[in-house]
Amino acid sequence: MKPVAEGGGGQRRLAYAGGSDKLGATYRGDGILQDRIIAQWRRRSWWLNLLLLFCLYMTFIYMPFDIFWKPVAVDEEVWFGITLHGWPAKLTAPLHWLIYGAGAYGLWHMKSWMWPWAAVYVAQVVIAMFVWNLLDPRGSGVVSGLVAAAVFAVPMVALWRARDQFGVTT
């Protein structure tokens, strides 16, 4: 693909004339790739796009850091509100990585299996937020636990009600 200059009036940008990339996106200098990206983001409501971005961040940035670079001595993972430390945390981190990766894949492709499983996972987070505030020494008690649980209950209910967005009809 040969880059060609476009635009006028001092506003020039490079576009690719002819050809396609490995993903099959055609570059004609007329915004085809941009149109495909916009169409992909329009498949989901804004809040599902936020969840997708969160899953992508956790899958490609945070979890690799957590698993491969964070020292075992400071590693922590929370499951159902119970904080695991050290090797138990390090050994269960790949399960979190798998969950976030599946979430990113499922949200990108709007897979029907995301309903109800995304809501079920977030329900676990709602429980964890409440229990963690009760059990962990860093927690702030019942009121803080209820507030934190209520905050995470919002995306849980939204995911549960998003059945049609995932193409589930039965």
Residue type, 9: G
CA 83, chain centre distance (Å): 22
The pTM assigned to this predicted structure is 0.78
The C-alpha atoms of residue 18 and residue 125 are separated, in whole angstroms, by: 48
**Residue 84 main-chain phi, psi, to 5 deg:** -95, 140
pLDDT confidence of residue 169: 82
The residues that bridge with 54 in the sheet, in sequence order, are none
Number of other CB atoms surrounding residue 149 within 10 Å: 20
- Could you report the per-residue pLDDT of 49-61, keeping only the tens digit for each? 999 999 999 999 9
